[in-house]
Amino acid sequence: MINNYLRTIKNADSDLFFLMAGPCAIEGEEIALRIADRIVNITDKLGIPYIFKGSYRKANRSKADSFTGIGDEKALKILEKVGKTFGVPTVTDIHESHEAAMAAAYVDVLQIPAFLCRQTELLVAAAETGKVVNIKKGQFLSAESMKFAVDKVKDAGNDNVFLTDRGNTFGYQDLIVDYRGIPAMKNLGVPTAMDCTHSLQQPNQSSGVTGGKPELIETIAKAAIAVGADGLFIETHPDPANAKSDGANMLHLDYLEDLLGKLVRIRKAIL
């Protein structure tokens, strides 16, 4: 399903963007299914192709006592259940090459975190599973330099790859989005998405907890659609203040439908 969809995007046959959305981390089965149910109802209504997102483990944490997950197999089985229950593809991130085959048994898309987008063994291992590979652009890299990450996946025999921008490092504790990067990465011949929530992070806070500016999610998303992003990545939760990971920059689930409705109108207006 997801392979065919990405081929459609490459051929510019779809008039809407795709959406990767869900909680930052898999916190439990009930809440994952509840979030997926809400988003599936919204995206079905608006005609937006949807991929459920959830990290089975959070490997990159500032503090040693931060939440990292509920157990790899348990979380991956929840992702699998979401996909089967709602008939949607799923995406999760992997952090080391040996995780690729394990995660590929449960999900449709393997995501390479931004900090790891230069890790050759990780990219090749993801490619060799035959799954779609989503590579997040490093905060420290230019859009054009993502060509080499794409080439690593394709040279390993997998053409099902796309890129996601998540902002650029701006000083020690902030990020900024350079929207020139979206057309630059599209020019590499792959679909390109915008991560509308992680690009608003304020990392490396002295408290050890990442901050964020969720009030600007709509701004980031509107601009991304206006410059031609093929897809959007949005972390969302019914109670961001109590989410176990990245609550500071997540969109409240109650706001998602209104935002997506606006974005659909923008997309149709610029076609």
Confidence band, pLDDT 50/70/90 cuts, at residue 208: very low
Judge whether 253 lies within some domain: no
- Is 48 a domain residue? yes
pLDDT at 11 over 70: no
CB 224 within 8 A of CB 194: yes
Work out the pLDDT band at 13, boundaries 50, 70, 90. Answer: very low
Identify the burial level of 77 via C-beta atoms within 10 angstroms of its C-beta, where 0-12 means exposed, 13-18 middle and 19 or more buried. middle
Query: Has residue 184 been placed in a domain?
Result: yes
Over residues 231-250, mean pLDDT: 88
Which ranges constitute the DSSP H helices of the chain? 2-10, 29-46, 72-86, 99-104, 120-128, 147-155, 181-186, 217-226, 256-270
Global confidence as pTM:
0.91
Pairing of strands 251-252, 231-237: parallel
C-alpha to C-alpha distance for 118 and 148, rounded to whole angstroms: 8
Look at residue 213 and tell me whether its pLDDT is greater than 50: yes
Instruction: CATH number of the domain at 185, please.
Output: 3.20.20.70
Say if 73 falls within a structural domain. no
Question: Given pLDDT bands bounded at 50, 70 and 90, which one contains residue 12?
Answer: very low
Determine the average pLDDT of the residues in 84-90: 96
As for how many domains the chain has, the answer is 1
Residue, of 203 and 193, whose pLDDT is higher = 193
pLDDT tens profile 106-118: 999 999 999 999 9
Is 197 part of a structural domain of the chain?
A: yes
Domain that holds residue 192: 2-58+84-214+226-237
Band (247; pLDDT cuts 50, 70, 90): confident
Is there a domain that residue 269 lies in? Answer: no
117 found inside a domain = yes
Amino acid type, 37: D
Residue 130 lies in a domain: yes
